[in-house]
Structure 1
Amino acid sequence: MSRAALLVLADGRFPAGGHAHSGGAEAAVEAGRVTDAASLEEYCRGRLHTTGLVSAALAAAAALGLDAGELDAAADARTPSPALRVTARKLGRQLLRAARATWPSPELETLAGRFPKGAHQPVVLGCVARAAGLEALDAAHCAAYESVSGPATAVVRLLGLDPFRATAVLARLAPELDRVADRAVEAARSAVGEGVEALPAASAPLTEISAEAHAGWAVRLFAS
């Protein structure tokens, strides 16, 4: 295993398309729910323990070798918003495209053929982690980190927030992120024997509702 591969995969400059998405932050800013570093931290904390946990568990389960089709269906069931399901598949397709060039493997080629329109991004992330020689905990950390780093980066652009303060938010959340990643791997290991029903299904209804509204905006800075 190369730990450096995790740095490549988690790097915001990896061409997986995440820069075009705010993780719901654009709608939260417009609604006045995120206005400064303190409210950004609360937003990211909520996202970490809901969307982040679910994504991390799906990624960890895929890294452990659970069937991608079953995991993709589980991701669908945990994503009520049609707009977010479309976004997750677009991001999955872009991540897979980048990963096939970076870590060529038969498994990724099979995944691309099985899901020509894209699988959910966390499922792809776990498969990519396997192809890169990483472990389930690595995949979980990557997914959990993405769930908060995307909104933090977006809010810097949306509010003109000091990037040092946004980065400090991520640093303060680091211990919680570690715990979420550990919980995700534990759930993924349970799913190996019990099925995908053992994976967490933490919900964030306001995020789902806001995503549907955001998808209909005539003018927006981010795709989601």
Structure 2
Amino acid sequence: MAHGGAGLLLLIDGRLPAGGYAHSGGLESAIRTGRVRDTADLGHFLTGRVRTTGAMNAAFAAAACATLSRSAEPEADPDDQRQALNRLVLLDAELDARTPSPALRKVSHALGRQLLRALRAVNPHPLQQRMPQRTNHPVAFGAGAAMLDLAPVDAARGVLHEAVSGPASAVVKLMSADPFDAYRVIADLRGVLDEIAQDAADRAWDEPRDLPSFGAPLSDHLAEVHETREARLFAS
């Protein structure tokens, strides 16, 4: 089993075959509609993304990690494990309810399924066989983080990292942008990302129904439009 920071590096490694490389996080649609035209616009796009759906997903990842962290050890009490898995199901249902776009729900389930599949191969754990296969990506990420001995704040940081690194990588292909400029935008967001991750960790044991529900209606709309396009570089 991996431990500490090394486990987080494994989870956020873009080369982990978890499917994230095929997604732009809504950036392709934002570029098509003229909302992102340069790396300055990318900064606004990423800031909005992390403060809305990013913060929400970070909270659910932290909650999922906290839920399994007390029962992830193989010798844990079976009743504790069952209760933890039941809470994961509840977290997943609450996150579904906060994702009005069917296209985004489909993407989240696909990424969650692929992540769990990758983790079963690279970090086998007894609880993985009992995890629901139709699991939203942030919940799957948080569960995977717990199985790698990570803390809720690590799970939140990992989800936020993916929320910005995916579009930053995609913008190079979509706009022929300078990758150094794209990643400078992420560097400028360090303080915001740390603040959101810590807030998510602080709320990890909140009731699922009380976790954040930061909507992004334009993102939902663009995701639905994007799914109908035949010519596209990214799945989302």
Q: After TM superposition, is the score higher than 0.5?
A: yes
Q: Does 1:93 align with 2:113?
A: yes
Q: Does 1:15 align with 2:35?
A: no
Q: Which residue among 75, 92, 96 is the counterpart of 1:72?
A: 92
Residue 93 of structure 1 aligns to a residue whose secondary structure is helix
Query: Aligned residue for 1:30?
Result: 32
In structure 2, distance between residues paired with 1:22 and 1:198: 29
In structure 2, distance between residues paired with 1:102 and 1:185: 26
Q: Is the 8 A contact 1:95 1:125 kept in 2?
A: yes
Q: Does 1:172 align with 2:188?
A: yes
In structure 2, distance between residues paired with 1:5 and 1:196: 26
Q: Which has the larger radius of gyration?
A: 2
> Identity over the aligned pairs, expressed in percent?
48
Residue 16 of structure 2 aligns to a residue whose secondary structure is coil
Deviating beyond 3 angstroms after TM superposition, the runs of 4 or more aligned structure 1 residues are: none
Long gaps (5+) in structure 2: 68-83
Residue 188 of structure 1 aligns to a residue whose secondary structure is coil
Query: Aligned residue for 1:128?
Result: 144
State the TM-score, normalized to the length of structure 2: 0.89
CA drift at 1:187: 2.0
Q: Is the 8 A contact 1:188 1:198 kept in 2?
A: no
User: Root-mean-square deviation (CA), in Å?
Assistant: 0.9
After TM superposition, the structure 1 = structure 2 runs for residues 1-224 of structure 1, keeping only pairs within 5 Å, are 1-65=3-67, 67-111=87-131, 114-115=132-133, 118-189=134-205, 191=206, 195-224=207-236
CA drift at 1:2: 2.5
Q: Is the 8 A contact 1:187 1:198 kept in 2?
A: no
State the TM-score, normalized to the length of structure 1: 0.94
In structure 2, distance between residues paired with 1:149 and 1:2: 21
